[in-house]
Amino acid sequence: MILLASKSSGRLATLQAAGVEPLVRVSSVDEETVLGELIRRRRDAGLPAPSAAEQVQALARAKALDVMTSTDPQEAEVVVGCDSMLEIAGQVVGKPADVAQARERWRMMSGGTGTLHTGHFLVRTADGTTAEGVSSATIRFGSPSPAEVEAYIASGEPLWCAGAFTIDGLGGAFIEGIDGDPHGVVGISLPLLRRLLAALGVVWTDLWAPPPATKPVDDAH
């Protein structure tokens, strides 16, 4: 059993579609505080600002470790934390704060490309051993009309997604292509997760939920 430290319905649905039924527990991490501390540490060390990959990894780590403190090893073998951000036009963006910001994001993205980074941080509950990695994919955005953008924003979907879009929902029609793992764009990379779990001694296929029991066929009827 693994425990997903995320409230993302996309991450949960991705795991379930792959045959994995995780426990879910949302962390209480303040993302702005985590990123502020990361930036301060790098500045004090004379280092440049953290990259998008470093930011999503710091948030994934914080979420997994936060949930780890309240998880019994008998409850789950591994805690999985994830976080996603879009890098576009030299900017790193997460979820839009409001409708105006979502509209501005789509003005920037329309007809262009961006890179969606998703950080993964795993903790084995028995001994605290960790494994981590980042999945990055290039997104080729379509050019929706102003009316389509407004309709999409009015649906509410862009307001709870990193980068103000999804590929597994209403926004999928506005994405022309993806170079990289599409699962990572949804929020959790299955190939990367399988490798990280293997590093912690967990076999991916052992996580598959057993098929539902079926009644034997009565040949007499």
Q: Please identify every residue annotated as catalytic.
A: 83
Strands 2-4 and 130-141: unpaired
> Distance between CA 219 and CA 167 in Å, rounded?
46
CB neighbour list of residue 63: distance below 8 Å, 6 or more residues apart:
5, 6, 27, 29, 81, 82, 83, 121
Q: How far is CA 73 from the centre of its chain?
A: 24
Strands 175-179 and 130-141: antiparallel
Output the CA–CA distances (angstroms, integers) from residue 158 to 25, 95, 171, in the order listed.
Answer: 23, 8, 8
| Token pair of 62 as six digits | 């914080």
